[in-house]
C-alpha cells in the first residue's frame, strides 16, 4: 500500500504546473474566474488525497506513533 | 469613546485572561513552557499551526495583495497547501527525533543531527534575524488595525505598547500554552468575521461573486489571470515551490510540531490544514470587492483596503469587531515568535557559551528574555526605517536556506557533513542578503529569456546553498576518507 503515497505528487503538479494550462478568466465556475476555481478545486482535492493517504498508511494504525 | 472601542479593548482583555488561565495546573518548566510537555493533541496542534500561519499578513496583506495585484495573490493559497502535503512526510520523523532527544528548538535539531554546537549557533542566529522583523511586522499591523478600527481614539504607538505588554506578560507566565489558548478565541473570530466579510461585501456591492468578478473583468481586463511578464506563470511556479519548501523552516512553526503528542496528530493536520487554508479565499474576496469600491490605494497603503472598505460599509461597532479580530491575528503569532526567539537565545546561544547551565537556569533566562525581545521589537517598530523593511523581505528567504541541510539529515545516510551544512547555510544567507541589498534581480540580465528573468530570485540562493553544501561535504569526506576507512 506504500505506493499510494505517490498520490502526494499530484497536488504539486496541479498547483505548480497546472496554472500554465489554466491561466484564464473564463469559463466562470460558481462565480469564480477559472484560474481561481482551479486552485480552489485542487485545495479541496488535496485534502481528499491526504485523507486517502492517511487511511492507507499502516503507521496510523499503531497506537502511539 | 466610540462604538468600536469596547470590542477592541474586550478582545485585548480576553487574550490576557486566556493567556493567564492557560497556565493552570502546570508546572512551568522549560519542557512545558516551550513545547507544551509534548502532549498536545490534534486540536491544539491545529490551533497552534493555524494561529501562526494566519497572521496580520493574512488579514491585511492577503486582502491588500488581491486588491492591488489580483491573480498573483493566489500564490498564497497554493504554497500553504503544498507545504501541508510535504508536512505529512517530513514532520513525523522530525517530531520523533525531537521527542527521543528531548529537543526544544529548531537549532537543537541541527546540533544533534550534525553533532555540532557551532552549527546550532549559526542556525539560531539566522532564526533570530528572521524572527525579529516578523515580530515587528505583527506589531506594525497591530498599530494600524487598532488606529483605523478605533477611529483614531487609540494611537498606533499606544496600541503597539499595550499589545507588546499583554503578549509579553502571558508568554512569560504560560508559554506555548498561552499561545494555544488565545488561538482558540482568534480562530473562532477570524473564521466568522472573514467568511462573513468575504460573502457579504461582494453581495452588498455587486450582487454576488459572479457579478463582482464580471465587473472587475470589465474595469480591469485580465486582473484575475497572471500577467505574461513580471509576476507571470514562471514567477508563480517558482515562488510557490520556494515558499512551500520554506514554510516549516520558520523556527516557531518548526517548534510547534514538537508540542504534538504523537506523529498521528501531525498527519491528521495534513488533511485538515489545506481546507482551513480556504479562509484566505474569503480574504481575497474582500480585496477584490475593495478594488472597485475604494480605489486609489497604492504602495504599502494597499494593506488598508480591508479596513477602508469596512469603515465605508459598516457601523462603528462592527468595525470594532473586525478590528478586535485583526488584533488577535497579531497577538497570537506575536506570542509564538517571542517565545521562540527567547528560547533560541537562552537555549542555543547562552547554553553554547555556558554548557554547564541546567534546564532550570535556561528556563528562567528564557522567560526573562521575553520582555527584552518585545522591547527590541517595539523599538524597531517605532524607530526602524528601511533596514527593518529590508530584513523583512529577506526573512522568508533566510529561513528557507535551512531546508537543504534539514532534509538531507532525515535520510538514513546523510551525505551532508556539518561543515557542508554550515557552509551551505552561510553561502545561501549571504546570497540572499547581497541580492536583496543590491536590489539585484534577474530582470537586469536582459540576455536571459523572459521566463528565466521572471523566476523568483530565491531560487538562486537555494541553488548556491545546495552546491556549496555538496561541494564542501564531498571535500571534507574525501579529506577524512583514510581515517574513516581505517575506522571501518
Q: What is the pLDDT of residues B85-130, one digit of tens each?
A: 999 999 999 999 999 998 889 999 999 999 889 999 999 999 998 8
- Closest residue on chain B to A28 (Cα): B210
The whole-number pLDDT of residue B381 equals 85
pLDDT of residue B350 exceeding 60, the answer is yes
Can you list the domains of chain B with their CATH numbers? Answer: 5-386 (1.20.1730.10), 401-488 (no CATH)
CA distance B250 to chain A (A): 21
Q: Is the pLDDT of residue B342 over 80?
A: yes
Residues of A in contact with B82 (CB under 8 A): 11-12, 15-16
Q: So what's the pLDDT on residue B193?
A: 92
| Per-residue pLDDT at B482 | 60
* pLDDT of B37 above 80: no
A47 with B213: Cβ contact below 8 A: no
For the stretch A8-45, pLDDT in tens is 999 999 999 989 998 988 888 898 999 999 999 999 99
Contact yes or no for A39 and B277 at CB 8 A:
no
Whose CA is closest to B453, among B234, B228, B225, B239? B234
Q: Mark yes or no for CB contact B217/A25 under 8 Å.
A: yes
Nearest to B45 by CA among B259, B338, B253, B249: B259
Q: Please tell me if residue B199 touches chain A, with a CB cutoff of 8 Å.
A: no
Lowest mean pLDDT among B207-221, B260-274, B441-455: B441-455
For residues B146 and B314, what is the distance between their CA atoms, to the nearest angstrom?
A: 16
Domain ranges of chain A: 2-60
Picking from B81, B226, B241, the nearest residue to A43 by CB comes out as B81
Q: Can you give the pLDDT at residue B483?
A: 54
Q: Is the CB of A15 less than 8 angstroms away from the CB of B236?
A: no
Q: What is the ipTM of this complex?
A: 0.93
pLDDT of residue A65: 46
The answer on pLDDT for B76 being more than 70 is yes
**What is the reported pLDDT for A1?**
61
Task: List the single residue in A with minimal CA-CA distance to B272.
Answer: A47
Q: Strand, helix or coil at A29?
A: strand
- Band of pLDDT at residue B392, cut at 50, 70 and 90: low
Which pLDDT value is given to residue B201?
Answer: 94
pLDDT digits (tens, 9 = 90+) for B150-175: 888 888 888 899 889 998 988 888 88
**Residues of chain A found within 8 Å of residue B270, distances taken between Cβ atoms:** 50, 54
Q: CB distance from B331 to chain A under 8 Å?
A: no
Average pLDDT over residues B26-42: 79
Q: Residue A54 and residue B237: Cβ atoms within 8 Å?
A: no
Q: What is the C-alpha separation between B234 and B225, in angstroms, rounded? A: 13
Partners of B233 on chain A (C-beta within 8 Å) are 19-20, 23
User: CB of B232 within 8 Å of any CB in chain A?
Assistant: no
Name every chain A residue with its beta carbon within 8 A of the beta carbon of B222. Answer: 25
Cα within 13 Å of Cα(A56), Cβ side: 14
Q: What is the mean pLDDT of residues B56-64?
A: 83
State residue B187's pLDDT score: 86
User: pLDDT tens across B226-261, in order?
Assistant: 888 888 899 899 989 988 998 899 998 898 888 888
Chain B residues close to A45, C-beta within 8 Å:
none
| pLDDT on residue B1 | 56
B72: distance to nearest CA of chain A, Å?
Answer: 11
Of the listed ranges B17-31, B214-228, B321-335, B421-435, the one predicted with least confidence:
B17-31
Name every chain A residue with its beta carbon within 8 A of the beta carbon of B227: none
Q: Which residues of B touch A31 (CB under 8 A)?
A: 208-210, 212-213
Q: Check if B209 contacts A (Cβ < 8 Å).
A: yes
Q: Choose the closest CB to A35 out of B71, B270, B271.
A: B71
B212 contacts on A by Cβ (under 8 Å): 31
pLDDT interval class at B211 (50, 70, 90): very high
Mean pLDDT over residues B341-348, rounded? Answer: 90
Cβ–Cβ gap A28/B85 under 8 Å: no
Chain-chain contact of A16 with B82 (C-beta, under 8 angstroms): yes
pTM for the full predicted model: 0.89
pLDDT band for B397, please (50, 70, 90 cuts): confident
Residue with the larger pLDDT of the pair B442 and B371: B371
Tens-digit pLDDT profile for residues B4-13 = 888 888 888 8
Distance between CA B236 and CA A16 in Å, rounded? 8
Q: How far apart are CA B377 and CA B123, in angstroms?
A: 20
pLDDT of residue B488: 40
pLDDT value, residue B487:
43
Amino acid at each position: 500500500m506504500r505506493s499510494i503515497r505517490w498520490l502526494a505528487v499530484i497536488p504539486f503538479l496541479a498547483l505548480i504546473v497546472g496554472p500554465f494550462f489554466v491561466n484564464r478568466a473564463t469559463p466562470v465556475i460558481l462565480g469564480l474566474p477559472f484560474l481561481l476555481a482551479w486552485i480552489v478545486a485542487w485545495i479541496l482535492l488535496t485534502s481528499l488525497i491526504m485523507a486517502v493517504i492517511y487511511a492507507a498508511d499502516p503507521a496510523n494504525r499503531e497506537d502511539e506513533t | 469613546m466610540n462604538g468600536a472601542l469596547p470590542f477592541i479593548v474586550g478582545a485585548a482583555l480576553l487574550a490576557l485572561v486566556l493567556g493567564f488561565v492557560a497556565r493552570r495546573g502546570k508546572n512551568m518548566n522549560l519542557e512545558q513552557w516551550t513545547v507544551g510537555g509534548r502532549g498536545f493533541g490534534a486540536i491544539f496542534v491545529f490551533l497552534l499551526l493555524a494561529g501562526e500561519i494566519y497572521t496580520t499578513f493574512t488579514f491585511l496583506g492577503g486582502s491588500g495583495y488581491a486588491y492591488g495585484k489580483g491573480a498573483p495573490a493566489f500564490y498564497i493559497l497554493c504554497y500553504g497547501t503544498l507545504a501541508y502535503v510535504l508536512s505529512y512526510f517530513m514532520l513525523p520523523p522530525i517530531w520523533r527525533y525531537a521527542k527521543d532527544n528531548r529537543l526544544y528548538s529548531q537549532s537543537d535539531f541541527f546540533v544533534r543531527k550534525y553533532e555540532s554546537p557551532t552549527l546550532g549557533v549559526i542556525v539560531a542566529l539566522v532564526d533570530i534575524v528572521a524572527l525579529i522583523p516578523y515580530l515587528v511586522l505583527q506589531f506594525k499591523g497591530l498599530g494600524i488595525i487598532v488606529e483605523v478600527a478605533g477611529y483614531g481614539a487609540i494611537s498606533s504607538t499606544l496600541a503597539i505598547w499595550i499589545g507588546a505588554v499583554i503578549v509579553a506578560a502571558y508568554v512569560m507566565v504560560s508559554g506555548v500554552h498561552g499561545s494555544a489558548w488565545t488561538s482558540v478565541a482568534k480562530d473562532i473570530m477570524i473564521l466568522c468575521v472573514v467568511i462573513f466579510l468575504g460573502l457579504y461585501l461582494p453581495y452588498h456591492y455587486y450582487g454576488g461573486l459572479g457579478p463582482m468578478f464580471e465587473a472587475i473583468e470589465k474595469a480591469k481586463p485580465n486582473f484575475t489571470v497572471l500577467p505574461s511578464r513580471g509576476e507571470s506563470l514562471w514567477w508563480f511556479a517558482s515562488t510557490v515551490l520556494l515558499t512551500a519548501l520554506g514554510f516549516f523552516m520558520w523556527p516557531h512553526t518548526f517548534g510547534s510540531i514538537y508540542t504534538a503528542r504523537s506523529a498521528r496528530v501531525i498527519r491528521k493536520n495534513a488533511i485538515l490544514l489545506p481546507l482551513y487554508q480556504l479562509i484566505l479565499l474569503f480574504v481575497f474576496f474582500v480585496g477584490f470587492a475593495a478594488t472597485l469600491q475604494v480605489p486609489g490605494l497604492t504602495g504599502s497603503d494597499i494593506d488598508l483596503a480591508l479596513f477602508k472598505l469596512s469603515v465605508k460599509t459598516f457601523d462603528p461597532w462592527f468595525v470594532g469587531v473586525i478590528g478586535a479580530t485583526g488584533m488577535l491575528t497579531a497577538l497570537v503569532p506575536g506570542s509564538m515568535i517571542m517565545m521562540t526567539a527567547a528560547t533560541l537565545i537562552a537555549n542555543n546561544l547562552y547554553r553554547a557559551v555556558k554548557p554547564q547551565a541546567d534546564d532550570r537556569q535556561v528556563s528562567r533566562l528564557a522567560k526573562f528574555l521575553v520582555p527584552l525581545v518585545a522591547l527590541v521589537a517595539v523599538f524597531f517598530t517605532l524607530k526602524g526605517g528601511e533596514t527593518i523593511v529590508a530584513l523583512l523581505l529577506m526573512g522568508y528567504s533566510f529561513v528557507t536556506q535551512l531546508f537543504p541541510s534539514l532534509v538531507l539529515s532525515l535520510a538514513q545516510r546523510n551525505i551532508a557533513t556539518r561543515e557542508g551544512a554550515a557552509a551551505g547555510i552561510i553561502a545561501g544567507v549571504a546570497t540572499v542578503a547581497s541580492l536583496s541589498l543590491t536590489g539585484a534581480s534577474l530582470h537586469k540580465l536582459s540576455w536571459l529569456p523572459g521566463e528565466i528573468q521572471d523566476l523568483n530570485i530565491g531560487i538562486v540562493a537555494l541553488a548556491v546553498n545546495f552546491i556549496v553544501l555538496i561541494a564542501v561535504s564531498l571535500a571534507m569526506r574525501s579529506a577524512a576518507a583514510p581515517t574513516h576507512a581505517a575506522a571501518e
